[in-house]
Amino acid sequence: MFPKWYDKWNKDNPTNVLGPAILVGAAGAAIFTAGIWWAVWDGPYDQQSMQTGPRGTGMHVARFVTDLNTQDPTIANYVTFPPVMPTEDSQRAGDVIEGVEPLLADLTVENYERLIEGMRSWTGIPDLLEPGLENYQTVVARSMIQMTQELNEFWGAHVNQNIGERNVGVSCYTCHRGEPVPTHSWFKLGNVNMAAAGWSANQNRATVQSQFTALPSDALEKYLLEDNPINVHDLDARVNDATRNPATIQDTYRTYSLMNYFSNAVGANCTYCHNTRAFYDPAQHTPQWTIANLGIIMVQEINNDWLVPLTDEFPENRLGPVFGDVAKVACATCHKGYQQPMHRLDMISDWPELATTGEPFYE
Question: Which segments are annotated as binding site for heme?
Answer: 144, 158, 172, 175-176, 259, 270, 273-274, 331, 334-335
CA distances from 190 to 11, 230, 309, 321, 332 (A): 81, 18, 20, 11, 20
**What is the Cα–Cα distance from 19 to 22, expressed in whole angstroms?**
5
Provide DSSP, 207-229: -TTTTTSSS-S-HHHHHHTS---
Pairing relationship of beta strands 47-51 and 60-64 according to DSSP bridges: antiparallel
The neighbouring-strand residues paired with 50 are 61
CA distances from 349 to 114, 213, 232, 298, 352 (A): 14, 41, 41, 22, 6
**What is the Cα–Cα distance from 38 to 139, expressed in whole angstroms?**
58
CA distances from 174 to 120, 206, 307 (A): 14, 28, 16
**What is the Cα–Cα distance from 109 to 184, expressed in whole angstroms?**
35
SS3 292: helix
Q: What are phi and psi of 302, to 5 degrees?
A: -60, -45
Binding residues: 144, 158, 172, 175-176, 259, 270, 273-274, 331, 334-335
122 Cβ contact partners less than 8 Å away, ≥ 6 residues apart: 78, 79, 171, 172, 173, 176, 177, 178
The H-or-E segment that residue 62 falls in is strand 60-64
